[in-house]
């Protein structure tokens, strides 16, 4: 039975994809799409140095319409597959949608190639001035010229990606989503298992991690082969053919952030490891442990465990947003009430959580598996933060609506900060201590864990290029864990294979630093919120409304944040240190 706006907020359920073209409608939509691509191809004759800005704007308008149509077709297939990765029909439709996307991309490639490398700099500057809100987007495209290959080579790469790395990543999803884990007499999926790593009982936490790690370790060879293929493709195509300086530079260019900005971020995070080690030592004392073991990392401090119904969780998230900005809460409520949130626990459903933006004309879609934990409430806040960002930027072109990953993760973690501050208000001391410990758990998972993931990826890509085995990569991952925790946490040998259980390494190499970036950026925004109060809300919503129309350094620089300096990122780590000291005082 379809959910109504009232039940969508009251209980966990599946999303509605009725606003997207299903299998029947998609066939007609695809025919219209192919006609539009063919018509666009006839614009090739206009691409001369003397072309006017108005003529370019007309071509861009056609490209926007094509992206809109393709986005709707692909979204129905992709979201259906995420909802049930075991479905053969959904898998086949997603593969077909990705083939269509490659064909459409090739049909539009002539304009992209002309703009990047076929047009001289003087005329490009002349045309940029007439592109209005898309000036930043097309300026960024010009920067990618030196990494652009001849058109025929780009066509081949587009086609091969569908049957190469994309197919392998779908295989990874299908294999791992089917895994079931046994803890005691119970068999469960990964989302339910993840809740157990926060159990107050050490035996349950240890059993949960052993179930997870042993399942992935048993298939390490196959999963490592898939990873090696993904990493090799980045090395051979992006570094070898496109001449990017390094694999991570590919992600930085896509994120429209400078290499030096990301290097400054990672240095600050790596240098901040002692802050979290101090927290782990303090937490061990609170838990009555001599030393934290890796499976104790997310153990709850007594006084703060509570379960929420889905209605309570949505109410708390929307309430926290509303106290800062009623406009923000209204946008999030709209996404929930449009039945665009898939929150129920189901077998075969893709692990993890995400927010998917389709087109400016549609509210985004959110996937998570709500089990009732406090952490799930924060996950809901995180994903709805993404959704608010998408809605706020819906006045942008489809080509510039989506913010670069680091800024996207800023919006999500800022929403988590709002929820945390709201829950802390008026809480008794024991509750405050437990919540502050949980907050530091989250800051560790978002800042330190994700940045060390990225540092590992940098080493792992080099190792794959030099022919390293899965065992050697696991040994390197274990060395990274020891560097991260020092002597503050005891790490058992089975965690060496944890890397094959991290989906982001497969789906989006080097994505993870965006979480560290976003969290530290959100801490800076929260500090500004504390200084300015409600007056800061319009500024924040204005940052979100920019979407991907500006380079992050430029957008944040206009608001007084110099994100290219390591001192900026260290400021966020100083906040973490203050929170850790506050926790020790509450002990």
| 249 part of a folded domain | no
What is residue 186's three-state secondary structure?
Answer: strand
Residues 446-491: tens digit of each pLDDT? 999 999 999 999 999 999 999 999 999 999 999 999 999 999 999 9
Domain of 73 in residue numbering reads as 18-169
Whose CA is closest to 407, among 519, 248, 532?
Answer: 519
Residues 6+ apart with CB under 8 A from 484: 273, 448, 449, 452
The 8-class DSSP code of residue 114 comes to I
> What is the 3-state composition of the chain as percent helix, strand, coil, each rounded to the nearest 5?
70, 5, 25
Q: Between 88-113 and 53-83, two packed helices, what is the crossing angle to 10 degrees?
A: 160
**pLDDT for residue 183 is more than 80:** yes
CA–CA distance, 398 with 360 (Å, rounded to integer): 6
Which of 3-12, 187-196, 302-311, 400-409 is predicted least confidently?
Answer: 3-12
CA–CA distance, 217 with 259 (Å, rounded to integer): 34
Residue 6: the pLDDT is: 54
Q: What confidence tier does 302 reach under pLDDT thresholds 50, 70, 90?
A: confident
Residues 264-282: tens digit of each pLDDT? 999 999 999 999 999 999 9
Query: 37 and 66 in contact (C-beta within 8 Å)?
Result: yes
Distance of CA 166 to the CA centre of its chain: 17
For the residues 57-65, what does the mean pLDDT come to?
Answer: 96
Residue 4: the pLDDT is: 58
Residue 352: the pLDDT is: 87
- Element spanning 229, H or E: helix 220-233
pTM: 0.85
Residue 159: the pLDDT is: 81
For the residues 308-332, what does the mean pLDDT come to?
Answer: 96
Please spell the DSSP secondary structure of 117-140, one letter per residue.
IIS-HHHHHHHHTTSGGGHHHHHH
| 393 part of a folded domain | no
The CA angle 194-331-440, to the nearest 5 degrees, is 35
Query: 321 and 537 in contact (C-beta within 8 Å)?
Result: no
CATH number of the structural domain spanning residue 112: 1.20.140.70
Percent of the chain's residues with pLDDT above 90: 79
Whose CA is closest to 244, among 510, 540, 475, 424?
Answer: 510
Q: What confidence tier does 304 reach under pLDDT thresholds 50, 70, 90?
A: low
Q: What confidence tier does 305 reach under pLDDT thresholds 50, 70, 90?
A: low
Residues 6+ apart with CB under 8 A from 384: 317, 321, 332, 335, 336, 355, 366, 415
Q: What is the mean pLDDT of the chain?
A: 93
By DSSP bridging, strand 186-188 and strand 365-367 are: unpaired
What is residue 4's three-state secondary structure?
Answer: coil
The CA angle 263-267-268, to the nearest 5 degrees, is 120
Beta bridge partners of 292: 489
| 114 part of a folded domain | yes
What is residue 113's three-state secondary structure?
Answer: helix
Q: What confidence tier does 364 reach under pLDDT thresholds 50, 70, 90?
A: very high
| 39 part of a folded domain | yes
CA–CA distance, 106 with 242 (Å, rounded to integer): 18
Of 430 and 327, the structure prediction assigns the larger pLDDT to 327
Measured in residues, the chain has a length of: 587
Query: 183 and 193 in contact (C-beta within 8 Å)?
Result: yes
CA contacts within 13 A on the Cβ side of 490: 9
**pLDDT for residue 500 is more than 70:** yes
Query: 339 and 365 in contact (C-beta within 8 Å)?
Result: no
Residue 1: the pLDDT is: 39
Which pair of tokens denotes residue 430?
A: 């024991």
Please spell the DSSP secondary structure of 232-300, one letter per residue.
HHIIIIIIIIT--SSHHHHHHHHHT--HHHHHHHHHHHHHTHHHHHHHHHHHHHHTT-SSEEGGGTTPP
Residues 534-585: tens digit of each pLDDT? 899 999 999 999 999 999 999 999 988 999 888 899 888 898 999 999 988 8
CA–CA distance, 470 with 474 (Å, rounded to integer): 6
What dihedral do alpha carbons 15, 21, 23, 24 form, nearest 10°? 130
Which pair of tokens denotes residue 559?
A: 């608001």
- The total domain count for the chain is 1
| 85 part of a folded domain | yes
| 60 part of a folded domain | yes
Whose CA is closest to 195, among 344, 307, 347, 342?
Answer: 307
| 82 part of a folded domain | yes
């Amino acid at each position: 039975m379809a959910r109504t706006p009232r039940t969508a907020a009251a209980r966990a359920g599946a999303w509605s994809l009725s606003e997207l073209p299903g299998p029947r409608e998609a066939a007609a939509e695809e025919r219209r799409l192919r006609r539009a691509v063919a018509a666009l191809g006839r614009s090739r004759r206009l691409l001369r140095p003397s072309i006017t800005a108005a003529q370019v704007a007309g071509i861009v308008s056609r490209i926007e319409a094509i992206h809109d149509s393709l986005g709707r077709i692909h979204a129905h297939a992709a979201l259906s597959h995420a909802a049930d990765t075991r479905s053969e029909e959904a898998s086949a439709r997603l593969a077909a949608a990705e083939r269509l996307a490659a064909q459409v991309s090739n049909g539009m490639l002539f304009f992209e190639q002309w703009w990047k490398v076929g047009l001289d700099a003087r005329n490009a500057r002349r045309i940029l001035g007439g592109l209005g809100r898309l000036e930043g987007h097309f300026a960024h495209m010009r920067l990618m010229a030196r990494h652009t290959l001849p058109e025929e080579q780009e066509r081949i790469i587009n086609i091969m990606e569908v049957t190469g790395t994309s197919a392998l990543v779908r295989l990874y999803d299908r294999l791992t989503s089917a895994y079931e884990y046994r803890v005691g007499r119970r068999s469960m999926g990964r989302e339910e298992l993840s809740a157990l790593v926060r159990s107050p009982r050490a035996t349950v936490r240890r059993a949960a991690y052993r179930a997870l790690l042993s399942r992935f370790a048993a298939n390490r060879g196959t999963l490592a082969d898939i990873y090696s293929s993904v990493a090799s493709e980045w090395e051979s195509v992006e570094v070898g053919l496109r001449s990017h300086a390094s694999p991570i530079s590919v992600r930085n260019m896509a994120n429209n952030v400078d290499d030096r900005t990301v290097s400054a971020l990672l240095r600050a995070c790596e240098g901040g490891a002692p802050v979290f080690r101090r927290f782990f030592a303090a937490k061990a004392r609170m838990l009555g442990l001599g030393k934290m073991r890796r499976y104790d990392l997310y153990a709850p401090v007594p006084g703060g465990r509570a379960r929420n119904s889905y209605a309570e969780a949505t109410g708390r998230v929307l309430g926290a947003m509303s106290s800062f900005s009623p406009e923000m809460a209204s946008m999030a409520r709209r996404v929930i009430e449009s039945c665009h949130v898939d929150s129920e626990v189901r077998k075969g459903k893709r692990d993890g959580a995400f927010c998917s933006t389709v087109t400016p004309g549609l509210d985004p879609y959110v996937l998570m598996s709500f089990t009732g934990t406090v952490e799930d409430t924060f996950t809901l806040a995180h994903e709805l933060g993404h959704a608010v960002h998408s809605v706020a930027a819906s006045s942008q072109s489809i080509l510039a609506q989506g913010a670069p990953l680091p800024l996207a993760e800023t919006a999500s973690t800022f929403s988590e900060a709002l929820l945390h501050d709201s829950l802390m208000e008026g809480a008794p001391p024991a509750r405050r201590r437990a919540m502050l410990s949980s907050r530091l758990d989250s800051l560790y998972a978002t800042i330190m864990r994700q940045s060390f993931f990225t540092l590992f990826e940098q080493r792992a890509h080099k190792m794959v290029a030099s022919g390293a085995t899965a065992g050697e990569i696991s040994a390197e991952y274990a060395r990274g864990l020891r560097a991260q925790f020092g002597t503050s946490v005891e790490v058992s040998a089975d965690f060496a294979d944890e890397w094959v259980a991290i989906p982001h390494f497969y789906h989006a190499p080097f994505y993870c630093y965006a979480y560290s970036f976003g969290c530290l950026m959100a801490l800076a925004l929260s500090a500004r919120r504390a200084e300015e109060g409600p007056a800061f809300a319009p500024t924040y919503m204005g940052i979100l409304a920019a979407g991907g129309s500006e380079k992050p350094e430029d957008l944040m620089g206009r608001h007084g944040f110099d994100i290219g300096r390591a001192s900026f990122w260290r400021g966020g780590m100083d906040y973490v240190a203050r929170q850790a000291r506050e926790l020790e005082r509450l002990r």
